[in-house]
């Protein structure tokens, strides 16, 4: 009997020790509450949920004759993607990061069609940015695959009510050229311009730009005395430029084409003794002519290229420009990079407004004329405002005017694109 009592006492003592153990020297744990009180529930540790992944496509001309522009577009796309991926972005209650899948369309319709098919079918992508002039080959595939495609051009034929998934990044060609020359002719030194020449490559690709340029120049009373075509990427343009100089035009418009070609033409026009004004609405950056032609020959050269450090822009845009300079020291921020960055912003903000990555839900946002979004640091842009031109898929609605003054690019104005 005494043995049984001893065993019972030992068992009770052991149970008491086990019960009290967590309260004694438990590495900072809370003491056992007194009898009759309700213990405070402890918070259950929760792990941070892993971000979901949204795939986006960058379909750019990374080789071929448009590689210069394609590379610049990709800069902007990658820049925006990296910024969003620093913290992720909210879509409803979920946090997302972006996985970017690139493709090279080689500036060829066949390659573009092959790559957009891969991005849609193999990668299950519904948001693509980057094409320049291969859109007609892409659009039917994109529409069928419910894939939004942001095209870095101002060719209005690429968008329309039959292509709701298609966007263009700049005002249509006619309104672009008209807005540029409106600003140019407001420049006092353009008052004496009575005759003009147009230089342009590839008669098929640039016919629309030539027609728009001619109409805009003539609307300001300038007679187009010669339209001279040339083969791109040549080194000797003297035979092409000689008959232009012989016409003694007051203005030579480098209507469209490769930046390197146009910069070289600035040099060779001056070497042939041309003293008039040189400019054009589709160059990309007037400052790029200086290494080719020198400061004296480039003086007064004018184009549409923006200066994002200008006080004509809000501080938010100037900050992005400063950030770009840290990424690409000494490199001018091209309009193409601006468009690439803005296209990713557009997609992300539309997805956030929809609360879903589903393209059907995002389509409803794009169809809403009250949808507002930030575009490269500028606010208040609406898709509704873009319906001025008969479609809802024109994004950026302004054109800038810059020229070389004392060996430096100076942007003197930026205006909304005029209504035709």
344-359 mean pLDDT: 96
Rounded-to-integer distance, Cα 296 and Cα 343, Å: 37
* DSSP letter, residue 358: -
Structure tokens given for 157? 């034929």
Is 89 a residue whose pLDDT tops 60?
yes
Closest CA to 132 of 114, 112, 118: 112
Write the DSSP string, 294-340: HHHHHTT-EES---TTSTTS-HHHHHHHHHHHHHSTT----HHHHHH
pLDDT band at 417 (very low <50, low <70, confident <90, very high): confident
Residues 6+ apart with CB under 8 A from 151: 131, 132, 135, 158, 159, 166, 167, 168, 169
Q: Which tens digit of pLDDT belongs to each residue from 339-349? A: 999 999 999 99
Lowest mean pLDDT among 10-24, 32-46, 160-174, 261-275: 10-24
Q: Which tens digit of pLDDT belongs to each residue from 399-415? A: 899 999 999 989 999 98
Rounded-to-integer distance, Cα 294 and Cα 297, Å: 6
Rounded-to-integer distance, Cα 173 and Cα 399, Å: 11
Q: Where do we find the tokens 């923006």?
A: 306
**Are 52-152+315-376 and 174-306+404-416 the same fold in CATH?**
yes
152-163 mean pLDDT: 79
Rounded-to-integer distance, Cα 182 and Cα 223, Å: 16
For residue 378, what are the CA distances in angstroms to 151, 182, 200, 362?
Answer: 20, 23, 33, 22
Please tell me whether residue 49 adopts helix, strand or coil conformation.
Answer: coil
* DSSP letter, residue 157: G
Q: Which tens digit of pLDDT belongs to each residue from 283-298? A: 667 888 898 899 999 9
Instruction: Write down the pLDDT at residue 420.
Output: 54
What is the CATH number that goes with domain 174-306+404-416? 3.40.50.2300
Task: State the average pLDDT for the chain.
Answer: 84
Residues 6+ apart with CB under 8 A from 361: 354, 355
Closest CA to 339 of 379, 395, 420: 395
Rounded-to-integer distance, Cα 304 and Cα 283, Å: 7
Instruction: Write down the pLDDT at residue 367.
Output: 84
pTM, two decimals, is 0.77
Is 361 a residue whose pLDDT tops 90?
yes
* DSSP letter, residue 171: -
Domain map (residue ranges) of the chain = 52-152+315-376, 174-306+404-416
Check whether domain 52-152+315-376 has CATH 3.40.50.2300, yes or no = yes
Rounded-to-integer distance, Cα 130 and Cα 69, Å: 10
Residues 6+ apart with CB under 8 A from 61: 67, 69, 70, 104, 105, 106, 107, 131, 132, 134
Is 19 a residue whose pLDDT tops 50?
no
Structure tokens given for 225? 């005395």
Structure tokens given for 139? 């659009």
């Amino acid at each position: 009997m005494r043995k049984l009592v001893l065993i019972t006492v030992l068992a009770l003592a052991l149970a008491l020790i086990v019960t009290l153990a967590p309260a004694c020297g438990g590495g900072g744990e809370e003491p056992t509450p007194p009898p009759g009180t309700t213990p405070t529930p402890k918070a259950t540790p929760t792990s941070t949920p892993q971000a979901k992944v949204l795939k986006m496509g960058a379909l750019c001309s990374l080789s071929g004759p448009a590689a210069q522009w394609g590379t610049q577009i990709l800069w902007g796309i990658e820049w925006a993607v990296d910024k969003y991926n620093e913290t992720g972005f909210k879509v409803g209650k979920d946090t997302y990061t972006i996985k970017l899948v690139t493709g090279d369309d080689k500036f060829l319709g066949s390659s573009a069609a092959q790559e957009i098919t891969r991005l849609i079918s193999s990668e299950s992508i519904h948001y693509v940015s980057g094409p320049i002039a291969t859109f007609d080959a892409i659009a039917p595939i994109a529409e069928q695959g419910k894939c939004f495609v942001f095209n870095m051009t101002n060719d209005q034929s690429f968008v329309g009510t039959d292509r709701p998934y298609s966007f263009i990044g700049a005002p249509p060609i006619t309104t672009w050229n008209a807005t540029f020359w409106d600003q140019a002719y407001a420049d006092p030194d353009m008052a004496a311009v009575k005759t003009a020449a147009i230089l342009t490559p590839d008669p098929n690709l640039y016919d629309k730009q030539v027609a728009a340029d001619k109409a805009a120049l003539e609307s300001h009373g300038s007679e187009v005395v010669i339209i001279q075509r040339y083969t791109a990427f040549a080194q000797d343009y003297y035979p092409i430029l000689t008959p232009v100089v012989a016409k003694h035009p007051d203005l030579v418009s480098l209507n469209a084409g490769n930046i390197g070609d146009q910069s070289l033409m600035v040099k060779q026009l001056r070497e042939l003794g041309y003293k008039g004004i040189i400019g054009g609405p589709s160059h990309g950056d007037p400052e790029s002519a200086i290494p080719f032609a020198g400061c004296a020959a480039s003086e007064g050269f004018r184009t549409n290229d923006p200066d994002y450090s200008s006080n004509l822009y809000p501080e938010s845009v100037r900050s992005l420009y400063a950030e770009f300079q840290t990424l690409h020291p000494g490199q001018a921020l091209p309009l193409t990079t601006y468009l690439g960055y803005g296209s990713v912003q557009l997609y992300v903000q539309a997805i956030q407004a929809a609360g879903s990555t589903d393209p059907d839900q995002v389509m409803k946002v794009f169809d809403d004329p009250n949808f507002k979004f930030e575009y490269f640091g500028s606010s208040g842009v609406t898709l509704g405002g873009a319906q001025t031109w008969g479609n809802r898929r024109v994004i950026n609605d302004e054109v800038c005017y810059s020229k070389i003054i004392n060996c430096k690019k100076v942007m003197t104005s930026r205006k909304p694109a005029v209504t035709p």
